[in-house]
Amino acid sequence: MMTRALATDADEMEDANNLIYLRARYYDPELGIFLSEDPVEGNINDPMSLNGYAYAQGNPVNNTDPSGTRICSDVTQENNPQELHVCLRNVGRLRRNFGIRFRDDTSDNLSNWTSQRVNNVYNAVQAISEKLGGLTRQAIGDTVIQLVGESEGTEAARATRCDLLTLFLNFPEASNHVHTVNNLIHEFGHLITLSSPTGRIANSEALGPATEILNRPVELWRQVQNNRGFSETLGWDASSRENHTDLPAEVVADMFLYWVQFNSPFPQDAQFIGQARSAFINGGDIPNGSGSPLTRINENTPINDGSVIQSAGIMAWAANATCAAPAGASIPDTALADYPEVIAANNGWCNFA
């Protein structure tokens, strides 16, 4: 059976009935079994996997089951007890402190949540938490991190909805891909900066002055790009990017990554391009090429009122983040295909359709 000491080491949650919560189902440490069947079907070639109530395929000393559905097979009490303890601890802390849960939707009947993958998620969340502090759970927490076998395209991961990140193990450029800490921070950045239902920023369809996009990060950055002629390489160390495109949603997620992970500020320059990125991230007036506040005069929009383009900044976006995605909610793939967070409509303003 899984001992109570092992569960305590893993920081797993225990309820008033002394049952241990392992995300997909409850475990009874006295009986040494789960109280409901494994939602993952067993493999006929692996007889131990066919017992839907067993814990860790009948070997709780050498195996662990951080998701409640499959064993974490790369580290065991026998071959690497220290790494096993770290993996279990990180699973427990992510669940307890941030509501982050793991799910494995691959089809190989093995555990793909290896210790390295778990620890990378943990380190990404810790890095974000060091910057966001008490806003972390509101901004990125109560989220399922889902492993899926095959990507439909070339992407390694996707913000599927405001409480779900999907990580692809296999795609044309890589097989059994292990997502880096920076890649994961980038994906969490989508949750903070994309409009609902993909992200946690409320979308506004109102036509109005530039101040009305203050709290809409992706649309705000699209306006800055249009007015300043930004390219992917200007105003920062572009080699630090996870997605080398000019798509506003991807640029914004990478600026979030830059803010979280790199201590150096955006570079100061004569054209005020680095300063514009800094103002976007930290809040304030976006500077034009001479350093004065950038104003809303753009031939691509019917609104030429000269209002100053401002940013609320990441801390404000995190403070206003909400996720109301219903269980099992999904978004049409067509809406996510090229990742703008919104589909252009309404005279250049946006509406998620």
Q: What average pLDDT score do residues 82-106 get?
A: 83
**In the chain, pLDDT over 90 holds for what percent of residues?**
32
Q: What average pLDDT score do residues 78-105 get?
A: 82
User: At 312, which amino acid appears?
Assistant: A
* Domain housing 299: 210-351
Instruction: Name the residue among 177, 176, 171, 175 with its Cα closest to residue 155.
Output: 171
* pLDDT for the residue 271: 93
Measured CA to CA, the distance from residue 128 to residue 123 in angstroms comes to 9
Q: Is residue 11 part of a domain?
A: no
Q: What average pLDDT score do residues 110-136 get?
A: 91
Summarised one tens digit per residue, pLDDT across range 249-275 is: 999 999 999 999 986 789 999 999 999
* pLDDT for the residue 203: 65
Q: Is residue 29 part of a domain?
A: no
Mean pLDDT score across all residues of the chain:
77
Q: Is residue 191 part of a domain?
A: no
| pLDDT higher than threshold 50 for residue 342 | no
Measured CA to CA, the distance from residue 174 to residue 183 in angstroms comes to 14
* pLDDT for the residue 54: 61
Q: Is residue 234 part of a domain?
A: yes
* pLDDT for the residue 131: 96
If one compares 219 and 122, the residue with the highest pLDDT of the two is: 122
Measured CA to CA, the distance from residue 151 to residue 162 in angstroms comes to 19
Q: Is residue 31 part of a domain?
A: no
* pLDDT for the residue 340: 37
**In the chain, pLDDT over 70 holds for what percent of residues?**
67
Most confident range, picked from 74-88, 127-141, 155-169: 127-141
* pLDDT for the residue 47: 56
Summarised one tens digit per residue, pLDDT across range 23-43 is: 567 777 776 666 776 655 555
Q: What average pLDDT score do residues 202-229 get?
A: 78
* pLDDT for the residue 152: 76
Summarised one tens digit per residue, pLDDT across range 327-341 is: 555 544 433 343 333
pTM value is 0.76
Summarised one tens digit per residue, pLDDT across range 149-179 is: 888 788 899 988 888 999 999 988 888 899 9
Q: Are 150 and 171 in contact (CB under 8 A)?
A: yes
Cβ-in-10-Å burial (0-12, 13-18, 19+) of 195 comes to: buried
| pLDDT higher than threshold 90 for residue 324 | no
Confidence of residue 10 (pLDDT cuts 50, 70, 90): very low
Query: What contacts 269, CB < 8 A, 6 or more positions away?
Result: 235, 275
Q: Which of 171-175, 182-186, 199-203, 346-350 has the lowest mean pLDDT?
A: 346-350
Confidence of residue 347 (pLDDT cuts 50, 70, 90): very low
Q: With the C-alpha atoms ordered 258, 121, 340, 137, is the resulting torsion angle positive or negative?
A: negative
Q: What average pLDDT score do residues 216-231 get?
A: 87
CA atoms within 13 Å, Cβ hemisphere of 182: 11
Supply φ then ψ for residue 247, to 5 degrees: -60, 125
Q: Which residue pairs, CB below 8 angstroms and at least 24 apart, start in 341-348?
A: 341/190, 341/193, 341/194, 341/195, 341/198, 341/199, 341/218, 341/248, 341/249, 342/195, 342/203, 342/218, 342/219, 346/205, 346/207, 347/207, 347/301, 347/302, 348/300, 348/301, 348/302
Q: Which of 133-147, 226-240, 333-347 has the lowest mean pLDDT?
A: 333-347
If one compares 153 and 349, the residue with the highest pLDDT of the two is: 153
Q: Is residue 121 part of a domain?
A: no
If one compares 317 and 296, the residue with the highest pLDDT of the two is: 317
Q: Is residue 61 part of a domain?
A: no
Q: Is residue 258 part of a domain?
A: yes
How far lies 76's CA from each of 12, 62, 85, in Å? 17, 4, 9
Summarised one tens digit per residue, pLDDT across range 195-209 is: 877 889 876 555 567
Structural domain tally of the chain? 1
Radius of gyration of the chain (CA): 23
If one compares 54 and 34, the residue with the highest pLDDT of the two is: 34
Q: Which of 41-45, 186-190, 199-203, 212-216 has the lowest mean pLDDT?
A: 41-45
